[in-house]
Amino acid sequence: MAMKLIKFPSLFSYQNLPTILLLFSISLLAVTAEKQKRFYVVYLGDHDQLVERDFAVEKHINLLTYVKGSDYEAKDSLVYSYTKSFNAFAAKLSEDEAQKLMDMEEVFSVFPNRYHKLHTTKSWDFIGLPQTAKRNLKVESNIIVALFDTGITPESDSFKDNGFGPPPTKWKGSCGHFANFSGCNNKLIGAKYFKLDGNPDPADILSPVDVNGHGTHTSSTLAGNSVANASLYGLAKGTSRGAVPSARVAMYKVCWASSGCSDIDILAAFDAAIHDGVDVISISIGGDAQNYSSDSIAVGAFHAMKKGIITVASAGNAGPSLGSVANHAPWLVTVAASGIDRGFKSRVELGNGKSVFGTGVSLFDPKQKLYPLVSGADVAKNSESKENARFCIDDTLDPSKVKGKLVYCMLSTWGADSVVKGIGGAGTIIDSQEFLDASQIFMAPGTMVNDTVGNVITNYIQSTK
């Protein structure tokens, strides 16, 4: 078939190629430059006087205009102005722009927005604060405790307001109307959230609602009501209570399911809480130790201290190695974790009559009988999956070899107990190779043992082959 070549007049001619390439390279550079920008906190210290506070946003825009080159770009890059309790702003900047701001005399510090991690009935008895301790209810009910965390569950009995009068007159905060949030009362007097990066979190809700549970836990530990007959499915039954049950609670949600807790949100919570009139700020959040002027918790707590507000922060979960404390500014009350005089022990009786012990919580009845005990590696699907089968990772075990047996697995993050149960196993023993200070909840009869006990179990399995 003959084909006729038709020439169309077009922009895309060889003569125009340099222009096209130039336009393409310019647009590519613009996209690259935009991607290189990130959120920064620009900290200016205190407001010099009340008059300056009214013009703080204008000043922030002027500073940004200087480095951006235009008023439009300055306003577009400004994310948030902290104007209530200290002078700072969050903005989207390039590294060069951040450095230009840092070189200005009126700027105290500039630091990139970082994301921090969360730190996590008998605790108060253990540290010497029994339920019978003498209390001054009038004083306690005038205390407002702010928590920066994952949110709160207002329906919990820990936050009912039976017997509570109106909030203290010093309280200037608020509780808005939010999705799936039932609201505040005279116990839970405030609830806000901050999500300044603008990125939606599909695993969370844009409201003070707690989808994680951490914030509800810390709030009730600090100021929850006394709740009788609390237990974990019948285990450790007793009275759940906070350190100061009569105190008022205000939640500032700054931690999100997918991203964690960002500096720009933490500072926004400090700015609001100080202005709202709280007495204590509690933060079970932390990251790598930073210079005080580049640490959102240290900066916020410093301004809280100047207003007579105590900030209590967790030391972190990275111990007990040297230099592992996360929150160590001298104006913070830093609280370290500790062991406790209670554990959930479980006994494993081996076929040779010896018994070993682990820790774990399981409500499944093991029927008090002997089960065949195998290691994950010995019941692998094939030789290729043998290494991963040691950790009982999903789709590495042979169901026909697992059914009706206890499986000994090395610790992984894949939920070994659920994997074993799902293919017919009788239960799981997990070797953590670490010091055991917390009891895992098992989806089937199970326990967690340390490396020493694990060696005993391994030797027993080898002896029965």
What residues does each domain of the chain span?
Answer: 25-112, 117-335, 345-463
Nearest to 443 by CA among 463, 464, 426, 460: 426
Beta bridge partners of 313: 283, 334
- Residue 177 is predicted with a pLDDT of 85
pTM: 0.76
Per-residue pLDDT tens digits of the chain, which is 465 residues long = 333 333 333 434 445 544 444 444 444 444 444 547 899 999 999 987 655 677 899 999 999 999 999 999 999 999 999 999 999 999 999 999 999 999 999 999 999 999 988 876 556 555 566 666 677 778 889 999 999 999 999 999 999 999 999 999 999 999 988 878 889 999 999 999 999 998 888 999 999 999 989 999 899 988 888 777 776 666 666 777 778 899 999 999 999 998 899 999 999 999 999 999 999 999 999 877 788 999 999 999 999 999 999 999 988 877 777 888 888 899 999 887 666 556 677 888 898 989 888 887 776 666 777 889 999 999 999 988 899 999 999 999 999 999 999 999 998 766 888 899 999 999 999 998 665 666 677 777 888 898 889 999 999 999 988
Q: CB under 8 Å to 78, separation ≥6 — which residues?
A: 57, 60, 61, 64, 89, 90, 91
- Residue 152 is predicted with a pLDDT of 96
For residue 448, what are the CA distances in angstroms to 236, 249, 379, 384, 453?
Answer: 19, 36, 20, 26, 10
272, HSE (Cβ side, Cα atoms, 13 Å): 23
Name the CATH architecture for the domain at 117-335: 3-Layer(aba) Sandwich (3.40)
The verdict on whether omega for the bond into residue 445 sits within 30 degrees of 0, i.e. cis, is no
Nearest to 319 by CA among 294, 339, 348, 302: 339
Superfamily of domain 25-112: Peptidase S8 propeptide/proteinase inhibitor I9 (3.30.70.80)
CATH number, domain 345-463: 3.50.30.30
